Structure 1
Amino acid sequence: MNRRAMIKPATFKPKTFLAGLALAAALPLAACNSAPKEEPPLAGAKIGGPFTLVDHTGKTVEWKDFAGKWRIVYFGYTWCPDACPLDVGVMMNGLHKFAHDHPQQAAQIRPLFITIDPERDTPARVGEFAAAFGPELTGLTGSAAQVDQAAKAFVAYYARGKNMPGGGYLMDHSRIAYLMDPAGQPVAMLPIDKGPEAVAADLARWVR
C-alpha cells in the first residue's frame, strides 16, 4: 500500500483549519448567549406606580422623574428607633459595595427613602436622615394623602401605633426594599435582612 498516495500535502489548508477552530470555539459561546434570561422574582407584580411627593428642599418630585434609572424604594420613618436605620444602613452599604466593583451600573441606581410618617417627617427632616447614609439617597415626604398614594402603589403597609409614655408614637410598617427597573417595573425585593454583601450580590445579579 502506498501511504504517500493516501495523504496529500495539498489536502491540509491552514486557513481553512484555523477558520474551523474559530467556529468551534464560537459555538459554546453562542449556546451560552442564546440561553434564556432569568425571570425576575417580581416580574408582572402590581407594584409601583405614579406618585407626587417633595424632597428635602420642598421641591415636587414625581415617580416619572426617575424614568430610565434603576430604583431602590424603601418606606420607613425617621423617628424609627431601630428597624429603619438598620434596614437603610444595610441597603446603602450594599449599594456602596456594588458601586465599588460596578461603578457605571451603580451610577444608574437611585435609592429612595419615602416616609410613612408625614406628620413629623418634614422635608428638612427626611433630608437630614437620607444624608446620613450617603449623598445618593433621596428622602421624600409629602401630605398624608400623597404618602398614602405612594404607599398603596408599592403595596407598603403602615399604621400609627399607640402613643408612648412621655409623648410621641411609633409606626408599624412593612420592611421591604424594592428594586425597580428603568421602566419602573418591579424586579426583586433586596435581601436587607441578610446583610450588605447579599444586597450587593443581588444588585450584581439584576442591574446590567
Structure 2
Amino acid sequence: SPGSGPRFPLRTRLLVTFLFGGGVVAVWLYLRREKAQREKLMRIEELKKVAVGQGDFRLVDHTGRPRSKADFKGRWVLLYFGFTHCPDICPETLERMSRAVELLDREPRLPQVQPLFVTVDPERDDVAAVAKYVREFHPRLLGLTGSPEEVREAGRAYRVYYSAGPKDEDDDYIVDHTVIIYLLGPDGLFLDFYNRSKTEEQIAQSVKGHMDTYKSLLS
C-alpha cells in the first residue's frame, strides 16, 4: 500500500523465513544437547556419590581364572553376593536370578545377561567349592571368590554387609549378609537392584526396560 516499506519478492521472504526458522531449530537443538549433557553429568555425579560398584574388584572365578570388573565391561550383569553353605535364601535367590536370565534369553533381540555370584565366605568357598555350587544354577553363572581381603574390597564397592555368626558344635556357621541382586549396565555402573520381593518376571521386565532406554553415561 502507499507509504508502506519496500516489498520483497516472495522467494526472498521465504528464504528469510527458512533461515530464521532454521536458526531457531538450531538453537533449540543446541540447548537440548546442552541440557542432555548437563543431565548426564549430574547422573554420573549422583552415581559417584552413591558409590555403589564404582570401584574395581580382583577375584578368581570358579575355573581359577583371575577376574576384574573390567572383564565385564560392555555386558549386562546381574550380580549377587552370597555363600555356598547358605541353607535357603541364597539358593532361592540364585534360582530366581537364573530364571530371570532364562526369560531374557527367550528374546533374541536382547543382549545376553551375565549372571555373577560372589561369595562372602571365602574361608570355606574356595574355587572347587564355588565351581560345584554354581553348576546347580544357570550354565552361564560365574562364581567368584578370593582372599578375605579381596572379597572384603568387592563387598565394600557394592556396600554389601556380611558377618559370620557363631560356630556350632560341628564348626558350622551362618553368614548374615545383604540379600540383593544388582544390575550393572555395559559401562559397569550400577543401574538398579532387586530385593527378595521381586519375582523373576519383574526382574526380567525391569532389565528389559533398562536395555530399551540405555544410554552410556561414560561415552
Q: Name the TM-score class by shorter chain.
A: 0.7 to 0.9
- 1:103 deviates by 2.7
Quote the residue 1:67 is aligned against: 73
- 1:152 deviates by 0.1
Equivalent AA in structure 2 for residue 97 of structure 1: L
- 1:37-92, CA deviations, whole angstroms, 9 ceiling, x for partnerless residues? xxx9xx62311120100011211111111111111111000000011001111111
Structure 1 residue runs of 4 or more that deviate by more than 4 Å after TM superposition: none
- 1:15-50, CA deviations, whole angstroms, 9 ceiling, x for partnerless residues? xxxxxxxxxxxxxxxxxxxxx9xxx9xx62311120
Quote the residue 2:110 is aligned against: 105
Quote the residue 1:123 is aligned against: 127
Q: TM-score, normalised by structure 2?
A: 0.72
Equivalent AA in structure 1 for residue 210 of structure 2: W
Alignment of 1:1-208 (within 5 A): 44=47, 45-48=50-53, 49-100=55-106, 102-107=107-112, 109-208=113-212
> How big is the alpha-carbon RMSD for the aligned residues of Structure 1 and Structure 2?
2.0
- 1:129-156, CA deviations, whole angstroms, 9 ceiling, x for partnerless residues? 1121111110000000000000000111
Q: TM-score, normalised by structure 1?
A: 0.75
Q: Is this contact kept in 1: 2:179–2:195, CA < 8 A?
A: no
Q: What secondary structure is seen at the aligned counterpart in 2 of 1:151?
A: helix
Distance 1:119 1:81, change over 3 A: same
- Counting aligned pairs with the same residue, the percent is 36
- 1:97 deviates by 1.1
Greater relative contact order (CA < 8 Å, ≥ 6 in sequence): 1
Q: 2 CA distance for matches of 1:180 and 1:170?
A: 28
Equivalent AA in structure 2 for residue 123 of structure 1: V
Q: 2 CA distance for matches of 1:193 and 1:65?
A: 30
Distance 1:99 1:192, change over 3 A: farther
What are the ranges of 5 or more consecutive residues in structure 1 without an aligned counterpart?
Answer: 1-35
Quote the residue 2:3 is aligned against: none
Q: 2 CA distance for matches of 1:149 and 1:138?
A: 19
Quote the residue 1:32 is aligned against: none
Distance 1:104 1:131, change over 3 A: farther
